[in-house]
């Protein structure tokens, strides 16, 4: 069940990605509508993070391409915002909450220009939206997991984008934070932004998102909630890896070279 | 003493030049080193500093004398080759980082020593000075060297100051930098060039073997004192300058004494002092912090024991009764009783130790936290009543008023704990 849409905000065409020798995403082909809250579901190691990293150009695909707003990434980069996984950085880095949120303005500032008053005001606004005003000058090493996540989201808001790609923003956060983040995502979606979220918990996902991408090394489903959240598709997503696919991956790994890489 | 005055009054212009050079070198290497320390790449600096040695020897062979342009050029090229090789090995082999660093360091330095031996056999009268590049000799810096090393230092400081934002994101979250469209590969390249240059500028003054210390130690020591990047860079520079000037002074006093080892000795002392005495992160402050926590724990236990005796209908406890409850901590319990008495939480009446009103308030709080936590463990984590005491014994001292309020509301202000003992509130009569 893969539903393609007219005038997609994001189009992924036959995307195959390999790390070193083993393919982690096979022929993903999908298109996403604008203004929706979209969840990417799948078990551990299904390629969820890899999918949004390849949209952001952070991993090189073996084949296929990605188009955003019908253009290439470099043409529309300022309209796209990315929230990496919280664990991907060292939170002992000497920086304050404000310093990190200001990084969201670096893209528009470009090389060499320092953030000024305008950027600072924007950053403070974004911190207010995630309820972190009281922590502006706090060192990031002193934050809890949920607070770190809010800082990352504030940083993404400071990019003032139209499309947001978030890698596990609900991972390791308490229930209050989860509810607050979800409410914020809903507000963003109501304001016409498109939000794509990697999420691991199916039970809460059903309540959160109105469009789903289900991954398990290959694309199982992509479509509106009422059409794709079915027992059959969920079983295909979570019910173990396709046996043959794993065997082929293993074969490629043993060959020590990857025929999928062009 | 007169030597000291002569040196530090800078009336000798050559000394003033050397000190200026060392100061610039200190700031430059502290800036670059702090970033590579934060990036967990401390060893790369060490590998590069050893790897510039064959380049120095080749530069010398080509020039036939200690010409700073040839030496710096040769050092830079062999440092660049080492940096390139290490990243090439990383992406094309399965070798781990530390293996690659160890291989690069020893191979390059080994080749350098071979070259040095060849030069020594050649009988070139200039070669005597070449040994200085191993351990450094700041006093050996002549004006021509200073122009080369000094301007390179200024270049490094300028670029770091100019690209602070770029290097900050390079270290903290390069993936995000790439995602927002910053040319991270170019920024990484500029940083690698700066790292090599910062080694190169130190070869005359500090020497190749110990240059890594001037790169990494200032930032490491400064990290104990601050969590702010600007202050970290400033403090690291000050540490580097201090040790650099002092090392130079020693080389001036004792002409045969190399500068590098003395710089390292001073830097290590600064690092040791930071490690021990820095507020919050230093060992001493952490020791006192822990000790005061342990003392609070023991005082809480004394109050709690008297409170429990009152629950059983006794007026108070005698000193002997109290001590017999804690047979392994006699001395510290005696201290706790004394300090509690001084603070007005206890008083002694006819050899019975009793709680004052503030003492009762404090004791009730400890017992309440203990029993609330027991209830929470029992109710929310399904831990049997006979297994909850140990955990509560430790956490009753830690729980904050915020957490207490949360416990109360989660548990809906319970009257009894899992052992059917009353949970005392402030207004309860004792």
CATH number of the domain enclosing B354: 1.10.10.10
Residue B152 to residue B79: CA distance in whole angstroms: 15
In three-state secondary structure terms, A142 is helix
Q: What pLDDT is stored for residue A241 in this prediction?
A: 65
Q: What pLDDT is stored for residue A243 in this prediction?
A: 66
Measured between beta carbons, the chain A residues lying within 8 angstroms of B227 are 94, 139, 141
Residue A131 to residue B200: CA distance in whole angstroms: 48
Q: What pLDDT is stored for residue A195 in this prediction?
A: 93
Stretch among A221-225, A253-257, B30-34, B143-147 having the lowest mean pLDDT: A253-257
Q: Among residues B251, B281, B311, which one ends one of the domains? A: B281
Q: Could you read off the pLDDT of A74-113 as tens digits, one per residue?
A: 889 989 999 999 988 999 999 999 999 999 999 888 888 8
Best of B179, B232, B403 to disrupt the A interface (most A CBs within 10 Å) is B179
Q: Do A93 and B163 touch (CB under 8 A)?
A: no
Q: Could you read off the pLDDT of B336-348 as tens digits, one per residue?
A: 888 888 888 888 8
Q: What pLDDT is stored for residue B37 in this prediction?
A: 92
Q: Could you read off the pLDDT of B52-100 as tens digits, one per residue?
A: 999 999 998 888 777 888 888 999 999 999 999 999 998 888 889 899 9
In three-state secondary structure terms, B200 is helix
Which alpha helices (H) appear in B163-258, and where do they start and end?
164-172, 174-179, 184-200, 211-223, 229-253
Distance from CA of B181 to the nearest CA of A (A): 6
B136: left (phi over 0), alpha (psi -120 to 50) or beta: left
Residue B1 to residue B202: CA distance in whole angstroms: 29
Q: Do A58 and B223 touch (CB under 8 A)?
A: no
Phi/psi of residue B391, each to 5°?
A: -65, -45
**Is the Cα dihedral B254, B258, B263, B266 positive or negative?**
negative
Q: Do A94 and B228 touch (CB under 8 A)?
A: yes
Residue B65 structural domain: 11-281
ipTM over 0.90: no
Residue B227 to residue B224: CA distance in whole angstroms: 8
Helix, strand, coil: what percent of chain B each, to 5?
75, 5, 20
Q: Is residue B171 part of a domain?
A: yes
In this complex, the residue of B38, B164, B179 whose CB is nearest that of residue A93 is B38
Distance from CA of B36 to the nearest CA of A (A): 12
CATH number at residue B256: 1.10.3470.10
Query: Average pLDDT of B319-345?
Result: 85
Examine the pLDDT at B136 and tell me if it is beyond 90: no
Residues B98 and B244 in one domain: yes
Integer-rounded Cα Rg, in Å, for chain B is: 32
Examine the pLDDT at B236 and tell me if it is beyond 90: yes
Strand B352-355 versus strand B317-318 pairing type: antiparallel
Q: Do B169 and A82 touch (CB under 8 A)?
A: no
Q: How many residues does chain B have?
A: 430
Residues B302 and B173 in one domain: no
Minimal-distance CA residue of chain B relative to A96: B228
Dihedral (Cα; B271, B277, B281, B283), 10-degree rounding:
100
Query: Average pLDDT of B4-19?
Result: 77
Which domains does chain A possess? 1-69+164-261 (3.40.50.300), 92-161 (no CATH)
DSSP state of A65: E
Q: Do B179 and A82 touch (CB under 8 A)?
A: yes
Q: How far apart are the first and last CA of chain A?
A: 29
What's the order of all strands across the beta sheet hosting A211-216?
A63-68, A10-19, A22-32, A218-224, A211-216, A37-41, A194-198, A163-167, A80-83
Strand B317-318 versus strand A211-216 pairing type: unpaired
Which of B166-170, B291-295, B376-380 tops mean pLDDT?
B166-170
Report the percentage of chain B scoring pLDDT > 90. 30
Tokens of B88: 């090439």
In this complex, the residue of B181, B228, B232 whose CB is nearest that of residue A77 is B181
Q: Is residue B427 part of a domain?
A: no
Measured between beta carbons, the chain A residues lying within 8 angstroms of B183 are 111
Q: What pLDDT is stored for residue B406 in this prediction?
A: 86
Q: Could you read off the pLDDT of B174-231 as tens digits, one per residue?
A: 999 999 889 999 999 999 999 999 998 888 888 888 888 889 999 999 999 988 899 9
A75: left (phi over 0), alpha (psi -120 to 50) or beta: alpha
Residues B275 and B309 in one domain: no
Distance from CA of B406 to the nearest CA of A (A): 13
Q: What pLDDT is stored for residue B220 in this prediction?
A: 93
Measured between beta carbons, the chain B residues lying within 8 angstroms of A174 are none
Distance from CA of A188 to the nearest CA of B (A): 20
Tens-level pLDDT at each residue, chain A (262 residues): 888 888 888 999 999 888 877 778 888 899 999 889 999 988 888 888 999 999 999 998 888 899 999 898 888 998 999 999 998 899 999 999 999 999 999 988 888 888 989 899 999 999 998 888 999 999 998 888 889 999 999 999 999 899 999 999 888 788 888 888 899 999 999 999 999 999 877 888 888 898 999 988 888 888 898 888 888 888 888 876 666 777 777 777 776 666 666 5
Minimal-distance CA residue of chain B relative to A86: B173
Residues B291 and B274 in one domain: no
* Chain A / chain B CB contacts < 8 angstroms: 74
Q: B349: which residues sit within 8 A by CB, 6+ positions away?
A: B316
Q: Are B25 and B153 in contact (CB under 8 A)?
A: yes
User: Higher confidence at residue B10 or residue B277?
Assistant: B277
How many domains, chain B?
2
Distance from CA of A68 to the nearest CA of B (A): 14
Residues B223 and B299 in one domain: no
Q: Do B165 and A96 touch (CB under 8 A)?
A: no
Query: Average pLDDT of B28-46?
Result: 91
Residue B218 to residue B221: CA distance in whole angstroms: 5
In this complex, the residue of B162, B164, B181 whose CB is nearest that of residue A107 is B181
Residues B297 and B205 in one domain: no
Q: Is residue B34 part of a domain?
A: yes
Measured between beta carbons, the chain B residues lying within 8 angstroms of A93 are 38, 171-172
Q: What pLDDT is stored for residue A216 in this prediction?
A: 87
């Amino acid at each position: 069940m893969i539903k393609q849409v007219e005038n997609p905000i994001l189009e992924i065409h036959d995307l195959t990605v390999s790390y070193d020798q083993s393919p982690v995403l096979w022929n993903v082909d999908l298109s996403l509508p604008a203004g929706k809250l979209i969840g990417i579901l799948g078990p551990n190691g299904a390629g969820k993070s890899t999918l949004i990293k390849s949209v952001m150009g952070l991993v090189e695909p073996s084949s296929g391409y990605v188009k955003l707003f019908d253009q290439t990434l470099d043409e529309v980069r300022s309209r796209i915002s990315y929230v990496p996984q919280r664990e991907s950085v060292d939170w002992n880095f000497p920086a304050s909450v404000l310093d990190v949120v200001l990084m969201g303005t670096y893209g528009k500032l470009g090389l060499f220009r320092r953030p000024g008053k305008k950027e600072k005001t924007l950053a403070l606004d974004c911190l207010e939206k995630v309820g972190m005003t009281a922590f502006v000058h706090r060192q990031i090493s002193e934050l809890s997991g949920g607070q770190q996540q809010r800082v990352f989201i504030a940083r993404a808001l400071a990019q003032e984008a139209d499309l947001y790609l978030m890698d596990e923003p609900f991972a390791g956060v308490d229930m209050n934070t989860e509810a607050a983040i979800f409410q914020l995502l809903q507000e963003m979606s109501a304001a016409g932004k498109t939000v794509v979220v990697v999420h691991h918990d199916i039970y809460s996902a059903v309540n959160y998102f109105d469009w789903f991408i289900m991954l398990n090394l290959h694309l199982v489903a992509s479509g509106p909630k009422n059409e794709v959240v079915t027992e059959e598709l969920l079983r295909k997503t979570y019910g173990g890896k396709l046996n043959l696919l794993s065997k082929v991956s293993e074969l490629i790994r043993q060959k020590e070279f990857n025929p999928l890489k062009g | 003493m007169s030597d000291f005055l002569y040196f530090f009054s800078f009336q000798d212009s050559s000394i003033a030049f050397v000190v200026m050079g060392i100061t610039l070198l200190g700031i430059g290497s502290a800036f670059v080193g702090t970033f590579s320390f934060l990036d967990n790449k401390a060893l790369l600096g060490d590998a590069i500093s050893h790897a510039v040695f064959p380049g120095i020897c080749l530069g010398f062979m080509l020039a036939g004398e200690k010409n700073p342009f040839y030496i710096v050029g040769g050092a830079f090229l062999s440092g660049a080759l080492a940096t390139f090789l290490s990243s090439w090995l990383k992406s094309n082999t399965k070798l781990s980082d530390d293996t690659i660093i160890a291989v690069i360091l020893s191979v390059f330095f080994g080749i350098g020593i071979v070259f040095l031996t060849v030069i020594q056999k050649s009988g070139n009268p200039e070669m005597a000075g070449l040994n200085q590049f191993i351990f450094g000799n700041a006093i050996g810096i002549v004006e021509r060297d200073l122009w080369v090393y000094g301007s390179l230092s200024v270049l490094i400081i300028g670029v770091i100051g100019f690209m602070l934002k770029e290097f900050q994101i390079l270290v903290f979250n390069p993936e995000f930098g790439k995602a927002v469209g910053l040319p991270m590969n170019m920024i990484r390249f500029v940083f690698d060039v700066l790292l090599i240059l910062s080694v190169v500028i130190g070869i005359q003054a500090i020497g190749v073997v110990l240059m890594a210390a001037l790169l990494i130690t200032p930032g490491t020591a400064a990290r104990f004192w601050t969590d702010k990047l600007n202050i970290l860079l400033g403090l690291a520079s000050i540490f580097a300058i201090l040790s650099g000037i002092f090392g130079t002074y020693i080389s001036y006093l004792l002409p045969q004494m190399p500068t590098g080892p003395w710089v390292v000795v001073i830097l290590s002392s600064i690092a040791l002092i930071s490690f021990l005495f820095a507020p919050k992160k230093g060992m001493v402050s952490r020791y006192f912090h822990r000790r005061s926590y342990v003392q609070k724990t023991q005082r809480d236990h004394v109050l709690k024991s008297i409170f429990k005796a009152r629950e059983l209908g006794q007026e108070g406890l005698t000193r002997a009764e109290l001590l017999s409850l804690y047979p392994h901590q006699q001395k510290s319990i005696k201290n706790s009783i004394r300090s509690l008495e001084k603070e007005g939480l206890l008083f002694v009446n006819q050899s019975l130790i009793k709680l004052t009103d503030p003492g009762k308030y404090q004791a009730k709080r400890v017992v309440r936290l203990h029993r609330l936590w027991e209830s929470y463990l029992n109710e929310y984590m399904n831990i049997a009543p006979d297994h909850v005491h140990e955990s509560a014994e430790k956490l009753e001292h830690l729980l904050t008023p915020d957490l207490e309020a949360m416990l109360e509301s989660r548990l809906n202000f319970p009257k009894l704990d899992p052992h059917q003992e009353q949970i005392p509130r402030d207004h309860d009569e004792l």
